[in-house]
A = this chain, B = another copy of it.
Amino acid sequence: MTPRIYLAGPDVFLPAPEAWAARKKALCAAHGLEGVAPLDPAPGLASGAAAPPGLAAWQAIAAANEAHIRSCDALIANLTPFRGPSADPGTVFELGFMRALGRPVFGYAVEEKRFAERSRIFLGAQAKRDGAGIWRDAAGMAIEDFGLWDNLMIEAAILASGGVLITASAADRGDDLAVFARCVQAAATRLGG
C-alpha cells in the first residue's frame, strides 16, 4: 500500500488551491507517497455514514478534513507563519489531531526568524523584559522562548512522533515547494514510501 500523507496548510487559501495541491501531490508521488489534500473529496464520509443533512458548508469542510486525516498514515504541515507570529490555526489544529492518533507528523516552513523573535516583533514596543529578564507583553504574559520554531507543542509533537521539521530562510516564499519536497523526502524515508 502506498503510504497516504495529509497535506495540511494554509495553501487552501491560495487563488488556485487545487492546482497547487496537484503540484504537491506530484512531489509526493515522485517519492512513493500519496498526497491527500484538504479539498479532495471526503473519504470518511463515503466509507462511513453519509454526511449528516443540514451541515453547514464549514462543518462539512471540517468533517471532510477530519476524515482525511484519519485515513492517512502521516501528515505534513506547512508551518510558515500565517498572519501573526505562528502558523495557520487550522493547520495547527490538524497537526494536533494527527499527533493524538499517534502517527508521524512533519512540518516545513520558509521564514527567517524564530518564534520568540517573531513574537517580540509582533508586539513591538509592548514587549518588555521583566525583572527576571523574561520578555512579556502589556498584559504581563510571557513570550515563550525555548529557541524553537513555534509554540513548543508543535515542535515537540513533530519530534516525538518521529517526524522532522524542516525550515529554510528565504528572501521571499518562492521556495516553498523546494522546502516541501525536502519534507516529503524525509517522510518517505520514515514511512518506507
Binding site for B on A (CB under 8 A): 10, 13-15, 56-59, 61-63, 65-66, 69, 83-90, 92-101, 119, 122-123, 130, 136-137, 139-144, 146, 148, 150-157, 159-160, 173
Contact = CB atoms under 8 A, between A and B. Distances in A.
Q: How many copies does the complex hold?
A: 2
A53 to B, nearest CB: 15
A140 B15 contact: yes
Contacts of A58: 146, 148, 152, 155-156
Is chain A's binding surface mostly helix, strand, loop or mixed?
helix
Contacts of A84: 83-86, 122
B100 A62 contact: no
A156 B63 contact: yes
